[in-house]
């Protein structure tokens, strides 16, 4: 693949898809790096032609997941930035222990890559005198391969980065928590048991949407790969995920993302740690930037038919693990809208997206609809379809937002009115539902 790759429509569109799905700012790894990763994923999938590969991507979540695996950078190590862990230990042995006496501490490592970071957190808490029952570390990453490796809990010497973070105390920790097996180091169950791994995408605004807040969040060395819209969104998500005075650890190159109205700096040299402060200023209603997820969960077939008001719901568990793609608010000033994406070579049409949704490819259909809305930001039909897809994914709130946008853009959109009326009825908002039904009746009688 040569340097003209991105100038091909399909190449530009693949880069745009990554930008949408995982927040990737391609300049962070360089366009040569992006090209290499795409070439590798293309080759692994048996494609020599970018246009054909783009077609393939459009119909397959597995293909998208494989592309993401090729593009992500899983670089990590135990006790990376040791001062962050020195501060965590200090906090855990005082405040953390007091809090843990009331309820187990909740910590998050996102992204956790191959596990070195969340396991370092667990070892630090054990070293601070907490028992494994007194805390829980949720560890999320968009890469299924990284998560699988993390779950195994077996590492090579490279994970300890000799020369970078090996100290006498680390040697003692290795002796305490690992078992040598030839060239490998097997982590003890005591460290593994409080750490739970699962897929997650920080570029998804619904990431961990209904989760209890955390006492401590590690989000290190991910924002550097995000474009600015994804960074801003991620910072809002991190704020939402934290307890009122919760701690946020960032990577050293990411501290410029801190907004003083969201977080205050804790002055501990080289720890890059912040405390959550009051809520950020309220977003204008419906402000949502285009986004999506690459959550490689298989999607059951779910027929979506135009005009059919109630799409069957997925089970809450499946729905929770799904990606959601709230639409762009067409009323937003362009300065806060996501960057305009390249026009796809293979034109996305709403009927193609609907067929995709009918085949059950809901996540990719949502992402495609989102892309479509970048170039057709006033399409009521696209918002209607997006609402139906969200409903199929079990994301009622996002669905209702999309239906409201469809109605805003086309006040006579009977299907969206009907969907909303039904949702209001489900939620017990009978007066609101009745108003909508009367509106529908007026519209259909006038017809």
Ligand X SMILES: C[S@@+](CC[C@H](N)C(=O)[O-])C[C@H]1O[C@@H](n2cnc3c(N)ncnc32)[C@H](O)[C@@H]1O
Measured from the CB atom, the residue of 82 and 251 that comes closer to ligand X is 251
Is the peptide bond between 111 and the residue preceding it cis, with omega within 30 degrees of 0?
yes
- Decide if residue 296 touches ligand X (CB under 6 A): no
- State the Cα–Cα distance between residues 131 and 193, nearest whole angstrom: 11
- State the Cα–Cα distance between residues 271 and 249, nearest whole angstrom: 7
Is the peptide bond between 421 and the residue preceding it cis, with omega within 30 degrees of 0?
no
User: Shortest gap between Cβ of 108 and ligand X (angstroms)?
Assistant: 11
User: Shortest gap between Cβ of 247 and ligand X (angstroms)?
Assistant: 15
SS3 content of the chain, % helix, strand, coil (to 5): 55, 10, 35
User: Shortest gap between Cβ of 430 and ligand X (angstroms)?
Assistant: 40
Spatial contact of 416 and 406, defined as CB atoms under 8 Å apart? yes
Number of chain residues interacting with ligand X (CB under 6 A): 23
CA torsion sign for 175, 177, 179, 182 is: negative
- The span of 88-96, 141-149, 257-265, 345-353 binding ligand X (CB under 6 A) equals 141-149
What residues numbered 14-33 form the site for ligand X, per CB under 6 A? Answer: 22-23
- The span of 82-90, 111-119, 352-360, 370-378 binding ligand X (CB under 6 A) equals 111-119
Specify the DSSP class assigned to residue 162: I
Chosen residue from 41, 53, 80, 99 binding ligand X by CB under 6 A:
80
- State the Cα–Cα distance between residues 258 and 253, nearest whole angstrom: 11
Chosen residue from 113, 262, 323, 391 binding ligand X by CB under 6 A:
113
- Decide if residue 239 touches ligand X (CB under 6 A): no
Measured from the CB atom, the residue of 255 and 375 that comes closer to ligand X is 255
Q: Write down the number of H helices and E strands in the chain.
A: 19, 10
| Contact pattern for ligand X over residues 37 through 76, marking x by CB under 6 A | -----------------------------------xxxxx
How many C-alpha atoms does 440 have within 13 Å on its Cβ side?
A: 16
Residue in 330, 333, 314 with CA at minimum distance from that of residue 394: 314
- Decide if residue 231 touches ligand X (CB under 6 A): no
| Contact pattern for ligand X over residues 192 through 221, marking x by CB under 6 A | --------xxxx----------------xx
- Decide if residue 143 touches ligand X (CB under 6 A): yes
**If DSSP codes are grouped into helix, strand and coil, which group holds residue 243?**
strand
User: Which residues of the chain form contacts with ligand X (CB under 6 A)?
Assistant: 22-23, 72-76, 80, 111, 113, 117, 141-143, 146, 200-203, 220-222, 251
């Amino acid at each position: 693949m040569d340097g003209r790759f991105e100038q091909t429509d399909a190449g530009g569109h693949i880069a745009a898809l990554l930008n949408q799905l995982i927040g990737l700012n391609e300049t962070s790894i360089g366009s040569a790096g992006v090209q290499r990763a795409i070439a590798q994923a293309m080759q692994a999938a048996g494609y020599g032609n970018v246009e054909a590969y783009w077609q393939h991507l459009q119909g397959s979540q597995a293909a998208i997941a494989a592309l993401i695996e090729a593009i992500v950078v899983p670089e990590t190590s135990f006790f990376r930035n040791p001062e962050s862990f020195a501060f965590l230990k200090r906090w855990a042995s005082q405040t953390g222990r007091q809090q843990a006496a009331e309820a187990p501490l909740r910590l998050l490592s996102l992204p956790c890559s191959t596990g070195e970071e969340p396991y370092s957190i667990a070892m630090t808490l054990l070293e601070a005198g907490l028992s494994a029952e007194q805390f829980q570390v949720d560890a999320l990453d968009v890469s299924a391969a990284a998560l699988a490796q993390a779950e195994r809990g077996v590492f090579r010497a490279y994970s300890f980065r000799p020369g970078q973070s090996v100290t006498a105390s680390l040697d003692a920790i290795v002796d305490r928590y690992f078992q040598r097996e030839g060239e490998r180091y097997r982590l003890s169950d005591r460290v593994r048991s409080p750490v739970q791994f699962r897929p997650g995408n920080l570029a998804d605004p619904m990431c961990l949407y209904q989760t209890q807040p955390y006492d401590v969040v590690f989000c290190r060395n991910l924002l550097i790969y995000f474009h600015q819209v994804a960074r801003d969104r991620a910072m809002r998500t991190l704020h939402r995920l934290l307890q009122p005075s919760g701690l946020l650890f960032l990577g050293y190159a990411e501290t410029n993302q801190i907004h003083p109205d969201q977080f205050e700096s804790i002055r501990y040299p080289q720890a890059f740690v912040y405390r959550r402060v009051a809520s950020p200023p309220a977003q204008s209603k419906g402000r949502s930037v285009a986004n999506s997820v690459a959550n490689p969960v298989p999607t059951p077939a779910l027929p979506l038919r135009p005009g059919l008001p109630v799409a069957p719901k997925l089970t809450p568990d499946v729905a929770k693990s799904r990606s959601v793609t709230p639409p762009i608010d067409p009323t937003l000033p362009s300065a806060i809208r996501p960057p305009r994406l390249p026009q796809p070579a293979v034109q996305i049409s709403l009927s193609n997206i609907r067929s995709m949704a009918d085949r059950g490819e809901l996540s990719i259909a949502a992402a495609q609809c989102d892309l479509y809305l970048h170039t057709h930001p006033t399409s009521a039909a696209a918002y209607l379809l997006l609402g139906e897809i969200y409903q199929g994914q079990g994301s009622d709130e996002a669905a209702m937002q999309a239906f409201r946008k469809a109605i805003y853009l086309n006040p006579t959109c009977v299907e969206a009115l009907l969907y909303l009326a039904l949702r209001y009825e489900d939620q017990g908002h009978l007066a609101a539902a009745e108003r909508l039904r009367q509106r529908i009746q007026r519209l259909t009688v006038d017809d």
